[in-house]
Amino acid sequence: MSSLKINFAKSEVMIINGDTLIMQRYADIFNCHVGVFSIKYLEVPVSPSRLHVADWKSMEEKINKRLDIWQGRSLSIAGRVTLINSSLANSPIYHMSIYLLHKMVMKSIDKMRRTFGKGGVPRESTTL
Protein backbone atom coordinates (compact mmCIF):
# COMPACT_ATOMS: atom_id res chain seq x y z
CA MET A 1 0.00 0.00 0.00
CA SER A 2 1.28 3.43 -0.88
CA SER A 3 1.54 6.11 1.76
CA LEU A 4 0.41 8.83 -0.65
CA LYS A 5 -2.63 10.79 0.43
CA ILE A 6 -4.83 13.36 -1.28
CA ASN A 7 -4.42 16.87 0.04
CA PHE A 8 -8.01 18.10 -0.08
CA ALA A 9 -6.95 21.58 1.05
CA LYS A 10 -5.22 21.98 -2.35
CA SER A 11 -7.93 20.18 -4.34
CA GLU A 12 -10.84 21.70 -6.22
CA VAL A 13 -14.18 20.45 -7.52
CA MET A 14 -15.23 21.66 -10.99
CA ILE A 15 -18.35 20.84 -12.96
CA ILE A 16 -18.81 21.88 -16.58
CA ASN A 17 -22.33 22.97 -17.49
CA GLY A 18 -23.71 21.58 -14.25
CA ASP A 19 -25.66 22.69 -11.26
CA THR A 20 -23.77 24.81 -8.73
CA LEU A 21 -25.66 23.21 -5.83
CA ILE A 22 -24.37 19.77 -6.82
CA MET A 23 -20.85 21.17 -7.13
CA GLN A 24 -21.07 22.74 -3.67
CA ARG A 25 -22.42 19.47 -2.23
CA TYR A 26 -19.41 17.54 -3.60
CA ALA A 27 -17.04 20.20 -2.31
CA ASP A 28 -18.57 19.82 1.15
CA ILE A 29 -18.36 16.02 0.99
CA PHE A 30 -14.67 16.05 0.04
CA ASN A 31 -13.88 19.12 2.16
CA CYS A 32 -12.25 20.99 -0.71
CA HIS A 33 -12.70 24.22 -2.66
CA VAL A 34 -15.05 24.98 -5.55
CA GLY A 35 -13.01 25.69 -8.67
CA VAL A 36 -13.69 27.69 -11.79
CA PHE A 37 -13.20 26.01 -15.15
CA SER A 38 -10.73 28.33 -16.83
CA ILE A 39 -7.50 26.37 -16.97
CA LYS A 40 -4.75 26.51 -19.58
CA TYR A 41 -2.81 23.65 -21.11
CA LEU A 42 0.26 24.46 -23.21
CA GLU A 43 -0.63 28.17 -23.19
CA VAL A 44 -4.12 27.61 -24.64
CA PRO A 45 -7.31 27.72 -22.54
CA VAL A 46 -9.18 24.44 -22.17
CA SER A 47 -12.77 25.01 -23.22
CA PRO A 48 -15.79 22.85 -24.01
CA SER A 49 -16.63 25.15 -26.93
CA ARG A 50 -14.75 26.65 -29.87
CA LEU A 51 -12.02 29.11 -28.89
CA HIS A 52 -11.95 32.70 -30.11
CA VAL A 53 -9.06 34.27 -32.03
CA ALA A 54 -7.98 36.14 -28.87
CA ASP A 55 -7.55 32.83 -27.01
CA TRP A 56 -4.75 31.81 -29.39
CA LYS A 57 -2.68 34.95 -28.83
CA SER A 58 -0.59 33.31 -26.09
CA MET A 59 0.41 30.45 -28.42
CA GLU A 60 1.39 32.94 -31.13
CA GLU A 61 3.47 34.90 -28.62
CA LYS A 62 5.18 31.68 -27.52
CA ILE A 63 6.11 30.90 -31.14
CA ASN A 64 7.40 34.47 -31.59
CA LYS A 65 9.59 34.15 -28.48
CA ARG A 66 11.14 30.96 -29.84
CA LEU A 67 11.86 32.59 -33.18
CA ASP A 68 13.45 35.64 -31.56
CA ILE A 69 15.84 33.44 -29.59
CA TRP A 70 16.88 31.33 -32.58
CA GLN A 71 18.23 34.27 -34.63
CA GLY A 72 17.35 32.95 -38.08
CA ARG A 73 19.88 35.04 -39.99
CA SER A 74 22.81 33.17 -38.46
CA LEU A 75 21.43 29.72 -39.38
CA SER A 76 21.67 27.90 -42.68
CA ILE A 77 18.52 27.17 -44.66
CA ALA A 78 18.66 23.52 -43.59
CA GLY A 79 18.99 24.58 -39.95
CA ARG A 80 15.98 26.88 -40.18
CA VAL A 81 13.86 24.20 -41.89
CA THR A 82 14.85 21.65 -39.25
CA LEU A 83 13.87 24.00 -36.42
CA ILE A 84 10.55 24.84 -38.09
CA ASN A 85 9.66 21.20 -38.75
CA SER A 86 10.77 19.84 -35.39
CA SER A 87 9.61 22.53 -33.03
CA LEU A 88 7.24 25.08 -34.52
CA ALA A 89 4.95 22.63 -36.30
CA ASN A 90 4.31 20.49 -33.21
CA SER A 91 2.31 22.88 -31.05
CA PRO A 92 -0.25 23.93 -33.69
CA ILE A 93 -0.64 20.31 -34.84
CA TYR A 94 -1.28 19.20 -31.27
CA HIS A 95 -3.86 21.93 -30.73
CA MET A 96 -5.53 21.19 -34.07
CA SER A 97 -6.13 17.62 -32.88
CA ILE A 98 -8.30 19.07 -30.10
CA TYR A 99 -9.69 22.37 -31.44
CA LEU A 100 -10.62 23.81 -34.78
CA LEU A 101 -8.15 26.63 -35.39
CA HIS A 102 -9.35 29.86 -36.95
CA LYS A 103 -8.07 30.67 -40.41
CA MET A 104 -6.59 33.94 -39.10
CA VAL A 105 -4.56 32.09 -36.48
CA MET A 106 -3.20 29.59 -39.00
CA LYS A 107 -2.33 32.39 -41.44
CA SER A 108 -0.49 34.26 -38.70
CA ILE A 109 1.50 31.19 -37.62
CA ASP A 110 2.31 30.29 -41.23
CA LYS A 111 3.47 33.86 -41.88
CA MET A 112 5.82 33.73 -38.86
CA ARG A 113 7.25 30.39 -39.99
CA ARG A 114 7.62 31.56 -43.60
CA THR A 115 9.41 34.75 -42.55
CA PHE A 116 11.78 32.79 -40.32
CA GLY A 117 12.37 30.22 -43.08
CA LYS A 118 13.43 32.99 -45.45
CA GLY A 119 15.98 34.18 -42.94
CA GLY A 120 14.12 37.12 -41.53
CA VAL A 121 13.23 37.84 -37.96
CA PRO A 122 9.44 37.75 -37.44
CA ARG A 123 7.71 40.75 -35.95
CA GLU A 124 4.88 40.79 -33.45
CA SER A 125 1.71 39.05 -34.58
CA THR A 126 -0.92 41.39 -35.95
CA THR A 127 -3.87 39.02 -35.85
CA LEU A 128 -5.66 40.90 -33.10
The string of pLDDT tens digits covering residues 26-76 is 899 988 888 877 777 777 777 777 788 888 888 888 888 877 777 666 778
Spatial neighbors of 70 by CB under 8 A, at least 6 apart, are 83, 116
Compute the distance between CA of residue 80 and CA of residue 82 in angstroms, rounded to an integer: 5
pTM: predicted TM-score of the whole model, two decimal places = 0.56
Q: Whose CA is closest to 65, among 73, 74, 53, 57?
A: 57
Compute the distance between CA of residue 16 and CA of residue 14 in angstroms, rounded to an integer: 7
pLDDT score of 122 more than 60: no
Question: Which residues of 2-123 form beta strands (DSSP E)?
Answer: 12-13, 33-34, 40-41, 44-45
Compute the distance between CA of residue 20 and CA of residue 113 in angstroms, rounded to an integer: 44
Q: What is the pLDDT of residue 125?
A: 47
Looking at every residue in the chain, the average pLDDT score rounds to: 79
Going from N- to C-terminal start, the domains of the chain cover 1-37, 50-117
